[in-house]
Structure 1
Amino acid sequence: MKTNYLRSALLLIAATALTTAANAQKPGKKTAFNSYKNHDTFDGKGRERIQTDWQGKTYQMELANNKLVALAVDGEIIPSTKWGEYSTVIAAIREQIRKDKIQAKKDQAQAKRDQEQARRDQQQAKRDQEQAARDQQHAKAEQEEAERGQQQAKRDQEQAAKDQLQAKRDQEQAARDQEQAKRDQEQAHLDQIQAKRDQEHAAEDQRLLKQMTSDLVADHIIPNEEVLHELSFNGEELIVNGEKQPDSVFKKYSKKYPRFAQGNTSYENGKKQFNGLHIHRN
């Protein structure tokens, strides 16, 4: 067991160095989960390697067959005797990864359904156009037949008028089907753009929260980052761990973090459950 733990710990150290170098080359990269890998190794064990920023700390872990075999926090290797202290946050991280996988699968399935519906709409529009062309040809044949007799011509003309009206309706329907197919494609594109924006906003909010927590420690409002349990911030007040901050502190943080002050920002980090960061913007 010690050999496996040491081997996994060495792998985590190497992964830490590689990730640090990669982030140094790409300073603009902002992601909720820095990296996640799930693969089978030569020994037949399913391996998971996770690195993420969570509640102001960087966690790196490796699991084999759903069992923790190595753990590092902020680059420090944690011995197996202390893993129990991190069981709650590890469970929360893994649960978030599970939910993200499920949501990603649902989004992919919905995107596929939207594409298939758009394809069917285009095919229907084509069939409607072809039907309209056939209706027009039929109307012409009826008009030619009408020339053979007045009485027959009258009936044929009436039928031709009806066919032309139907042909017009078919053309209008075909145009509506094409327009609907276009709107469906545009909506699918907008949904993809919105999903990307939501991910970027979430990553930026987490980065700003971490920076703001560091400022609270530097300004001696809280002794360290770990004791920040509750935060409320809006255009009127700043409350940290249930205590309303002086007006000077409120103005300083409002100026530095307008993204939080202009909305209705709340953050809760309970002992039993991670409630996370919530921002409601007008």
Structure 2
Amino acid sequence: MKVNYLRSALLLIAATALTTAANAQKPGKKTAYVSYNNYDTFDAKGRERIQTNWKGKTYQMELANNKLIALAVDGEIIPSAKWGEYSTVIAAIREQIRKDRIQAKKDQAQAKRDQEQAGRDQQQAKRDQEQAARDQQHAKVEQEEAERDQQQAKRDQEQAAKDQIQAKRDQEQASRDQEQAARDQIQAKKDQEQAAEDQRVLKRMISDFVADHIIPNEEALRDLSFNGEELIINGKKQPDSVFKKYSEKYPRFAKGNTSYENGQRQFNGLHIHRN
């Protein structure tokens, strides 16, 4: 499964939704939220934005200076007068986020240690190979120089044989690692080429939107959602005839779950999720 994530675009959507919730001042008002993975982030002003699924409900909240300034539950804006009813679950969510951050730091530290150990293992494998070669030469010299040392030479040969076996194992493992690295490089190149192609096709599709008078110009496209059931441009679902035309012309975007966000007239990215 290939997934190209646009985290910044998703966070921008969520931030917009929460800001709308904070300014609505109408209890019980419903707000349409975009569906995406749980997240916790801080903006440039230090405000914290959180969205998570907690015990069957979706919570969206915004905090400034560690104080709640906006709250929505399952898409419903909660007025500040009722925030106290949610204090327990909000505290539980923030505590879980705190634990997750601590665990993430531990995982990063462990990953670094694992990388360092892998480097040491590679160096040790090289030393083992060099030692095996020295042991072989030493055994040969002893055989040629002293008959009375045959027994000792035999023991040395046995040890050398063990070293050869280990060295062979190390060489085989190194070879497998190299092959895997080569496969990874090939896949990474394919992914890069596909991403570049997707961007080129996206630009052609946006040009078609302009040509079909769906949008006045390329910069007018704010967002789109394209899948096997519908085509939504700037929040407006397109007619079946338009959906059919673009599904036939751009099947890759239609068959995947494609989303695009263009914030502040700048290209933020393309996200295609394929099952």
TM-score, length of structure 1 as denominator length = 0.45
Q: Who wins on radius of gyration, i.e. which is larger?
A: 1
* TM-score computed with the length of structure 2 as normaliser: 0.46
